[in-house]
Amino acid sequence: MQFEKVPVLKYLGLPQEYAPSPETNPIEFLTLHLLQLPPNILQKFSMITTPKQRTPLVSIRNRRLQYANKCPRELRFEVARNKWPELWQGRERRGVEEGNEERVWAQQSFLAGSRQHIGKLGNLLADYEEEREADRVRTLRRSRMPVDPEDDFVAEEDTDSDEEEINDSPARPVEETDMEAKMWFERRIREKFIYGLLDDIDYDEVDWDESLDGEEDRDAEEKWFDEEED
């Protein structure tokens, strides 16, 4: 599928020669018109922009911030640690939780048989699952090692946004408890999400969700259409 600028310009009542072009300069175009476009049209811009490229847009960052503030499951510690293990610096053995699940399954749900045999099977499955998970984590860490110095680049920001909340936390302590380590990990995941630096996550459902806009954004949208009618 190819991006077509005609429906975008037609919706806004703009001429075909309008500049900046939504096709060749999508970020500049969205800077001016993102709040006036509905989600079904905005989704088309995912074909020609990446989450990282969209980060300089204040409304996009604010939507991501509003979403992150809801503490969605994919940004919580347990899920995020397994999804982005290369970002977690904890020292615990990986796969222990998965191994315990296999052990419980063998003890509670396996076909009836000798308790001794089931116990051995549970331990065997637990050891296998723990090693499998540890191997998965090692593979992910190697495959996701940053090779581009710009991978952690944070786009230049406008100050007219709600994202000051991102930097409100105190400096990270040199020595930290397990709880503090988890807290800082979640904060790092949250920041990377807001700046479009996480892979394997659906940014489209957030970036184009107008329900995440604040009152000021909605007022700006209504004002633009009122001016067009005049």
Looking at the structure of the chain, the number of domains it has is 3
Same-domain status, 21 and 40: yes
Residue whose token pair is 């020609």: 48
Same-domain status, 80 and 166: yes
Residue at 89 is within a domain: no
15 CB-near residues (< 8 Å, 6+ apart): 9
Instruction: Write down the pLDDT at residue 192.
Output: 96
Q: How many CB atoms lie under 10 A from the CB of residue 186? A: 17
Taking every pair of C-alpha atoms in the chain, what is the biggest distance, in angstroms? 83
Same-domain status, 64 and 102: no
Distance from C-alpha of 108 to C-alpha of 38, rounded to nearest angstrom: 51
Same-domain status, 130 and 187: no
Using omega within 30 degrees of 0 as the cis cutoff, is the peptide bond preceding 20 cis?
yes
Same-domain status, 178 and 227: yes
pTM: 0.68
- pLDDT tens across the length of the chain (230 residues): 799 999 999 999 999 999 999 999 999 999 999 999 999 999 999 999 999 999 999 999 999 999 999 999 999 999 999 899 888 877 555 555 554 555 555 556 554 445 544 455 556 555 555 566 555 555 655 555 554 544 554 545 554 555 555 555 555 556 678 888 899 999 999 999 999 999 999 999 999 999 999 876 655 555 544 555 55
Residue at 151 is within a domain: no
Same-domain status, 111 and 169: no
Range(s) of the domain holding residue 136: 96-143
Same-domain status, 227 and 190: yes
In the chain, what percentage of residues exceed pLDDT 90? 49
Same-domain status, 113 and 131: yes
Q: How many CB atoms lie under 10 A from the CB of residue 215? A: 7
Residue at 91 is within a domain: no
Instruction: Write down the pLDDT at residue 224.
Output: 47
Helix (H) or strand (E) holding 49: none
Instruction: Write down the pLDDT at residue 215.
Output: 74
Same-domain status, 196 and 178: yes
Q: Which of 134, 180, 154, 165 is nearest to 55 (CA)?
A: 154
